[in-house]
Structure 1
Amino acid sequence: MVRMMTQEQCPHRNNVQSTEKPQLYKVGIYGWRKRCLYFFVLLLMILIVVNLALTIWILKVMNFTIDGMGHLRITERGLKLEGDSEFLQPLYAKEIQSRPGSPLFLQSSKNVSINILNEKKQLVSQLVAGSHGVHARGKMLEVKSSAGKLLFSADDHEVVVGAERLRVMGAEGAVFSNSVETPHVRAEPFKELRLESPTRSLYMEAPKGVKIEADAGDFQATCRSDLRLESKDGEITLDARKIKLLRLPEGKAPSPSGTRQTVFEVCVCPNGKLFLSQAGTGSTCQISSNLCL
């Protein structure tokens, strides 16, 4: 049988518990760990403040607003750029226009190229403006006035000048390697009109005739070889108050001694040559017929 004993029956146990002191257990971080934690918290706060200050500075410098950033503004019609802008990568846009009343300025250190592609991404038209000049490539080139009138057109078949007047300002004039078709060739007022072929022949042809007029000056035709006037179905008319045939060869006919012959007759050879022969009571062309050779 086990006998239960009360607390009063064990006085020595109470004496042992009363003599022991209560122990305290510290909870937390102390010593060098606590100092390191405070240091990292302080460093994190400094980084947050610096980061916030840099963010505010970037927003201020880049001019961030609700409508856009810097010179870029977002409007109902699209994007709006103010001032000078640089694009380092390709720019794709449906329409580029300047502000009302201001020009559109494109600048490049190399060249400015405008390419038109078809549905298959093949080059159809191209305009390149560079240091060597302006080059255009396409099926047809047209220049029109503000009223819509055609001023200039060029394609593979022909070049059309639709202006009322074509003016060539070069000192050497205009050079045409092939034939020229025009209804009217006229010089400027008080200027001479010259049609010249230095090394080849000059032909003027028209189905209904060629008309040459010099209302306030002289008409002169000069050539190094032969000058030929030919009319196949009609006639050649020389209508003038005076007709001079200079430097024609003169034939010699017997004349009275001591007299100077001042009257001549014009003789025509079978081959078409003309010469002068001293006039007499009869024709003297037979006497100087040796000039026909």
Structure 2
Amino acid sequence: MRSNMEQSATLDIETLKITQEHYILASQSLHLPRPGCEGGGCEGGGPGAVYGWRKRGLYFFLLLLLVTMIVNLALTVWILKVMNFSMEGMGSLKLNQDGIRVEGKSEFLSPLYVNEIQSRGEGLLVLKSEKNVTLNARNDQGQLTGQLTVGAEAVEAQCQRLEVRSSEGGRLLFTAEEEEVVMTTEKFTITGSEGAVFGHSVETPLILAKSAEDLKLESPTRTLTMEAPRGVEVSSAQGFLQISGRKDLQLESTEGEILLDANIIQLGNLPLGMFSKSTPQASYEQSIYEVCVCPSGKVYLSPAQSSSTCQIMNNICLWS
């Protein structure tokens, strides 16, 4: 028993010696000089210290970052100065409570969506484009409802109804729809040298020429027809009235009469009718003639005598 106790005491003393040796070795290792730091070349040797070329690279990076920040700040100040930034806007672009005001010329490279474009009170609103200027109107679904295109060759408007109103009072002057075109002006004037050409019928209450100018209604290749439910009036306050045609000239009244009311009525180039064989021939020196009418309505002349010389059976009425 005694030998066992002496043996355990010896083991504890040896263990204590080993522990003291480990502590001394650990303390000495903390004070050993690091490689490259002989002669006191290293300072502040903490656990996270940077040494050598890494330290110089870090300083260079910090210097480069500082220079970049200074350059960016200088460029920002220069841009603000050049663009004339202020609390009201930027340069010629001013921000108001009513919207945006642009002074001078402006160029838009992308579509512009606005509710209203208005010029200054003393200036004009000018829209310029190298190709054309197009104004589009769309509904809530984005569908195109109206379009106005101003091009080099034509001005085109695509809409359901085109209206032109006067500047005073907004009175309607002109409307154009798919089915009809209506002009509500008191006078429609055409000043072209060739007049106006209508491909189909024209409905109007009055056709009037300017003062001291002639009015001419002409159909060069077809028939000219004038109709009205209550009559057609053709009058000339000054000058003469001329109605001519290449073939037939027809004046027709279905229920009324045709009245030629004038001091002198002249019917020129009427054919001269000849007597039948039962009637003696008239003298060639005849100066007074009688106006005769065939059953067909053809008018011809017949030498006047004491009694009527109009013959039904003559060469004029037979061939009419």
Q: 1:117 aligns with which of 115, 130, 138?
A: 138
Identity of aligned residues (%): 52
The CA deviation string for residues 167-215 of structure 1, in whole angstroms up to 9 with x for no partner, is 1122221111221111111011111111111111111111111111100
User: How many residue pairs end up in the alignment?
Assistant: 269
Q: Which moved more, 1:142-151 or 1:117-126?
A: 117-126
For the residue of structure 2 that corresponds to 1:114, the secondary structure is strand
Give the unaligned 5+ runs of structure 2. 1-38, 45-49, 275-279
Higher helix share: 2
For the residue of structure 2 that corresponds to 1:135, the secondary structure is strand
For the residue of structure 2 that corresponds to 1:55, the secondary structure is helix
Q: Which moved more, 1:23-32 or 1:72-81?
A: 23-32
Deviation at 1:38, TM superposition (A): 6.7
Q: Which moved more, 1:35-44 or 1:45-54?
A: 35-44
In the alignment, which residue of structure 2 is the partner of 1:206? 228
| AA matched with 2:43 | V
For the residue of structure 2 that corresponds to 1:83, the secondary structure is coil
Distance 1:287 1:223, change over 3 A: closer
Q: 1:273 aligns with which of 285, 290, 298?
A: 298
Residues 1:175 and 2:200 aligned together: no
CA distance in 1, matches of 2:105, 2:98: 20
Q: Which moved more, 1:198-207 or 1:73-82?
A: 73-82
In the alignment, which residue of structure 2 is the partner of 1:264? 289
For normalisation by structure 1, the TM-score amounts to 0.81
| AA matched with 1:27 | E
Q: 1:223 aligns with which of 238, 245, 260?
A: 245
Deviation at 1:224, TM superposition (A): 0.8
Give the unaligned 5+ runs of structure 1. 1-22
In the alignment, which residue of structure 1 is the partner of 2:9? none
Pairing of 1:80-159 with structure 2 (within 5 A) = 80-146=101-167, 147-159=169-181
In the alignment, which residue of structure 2 is the partner of 1:240? 262
Residues 1:290 and 2:315 aligned together: yes
Residues 1:161 and 2:147 aligned together: no
Give me the CA root mean square deviation. Answer: 2.6
Deviation at 1:51, TM superposition (A): 3.2
CA distance in 2, matches of 1:91, 1:280: 92
| AA matched with 1:132 | E
Deviation at 1:36, TM superposition (A): 6.8
For the residue of structure 2 that corresponds to 1:73, the secondary structure is strand
| AA matched with 2:294 | C
Residues 1:254 and 2:270 aligned together: no
Bigger radius of gyration, 1 or 2? 2
Native 8 Å contact 2:294 2:312 kept in 1: no
Distance 1:218 1:33, change over 3 A: same
For the residue of structure 2 that corresponds to 1:266, the secondary structure is strand
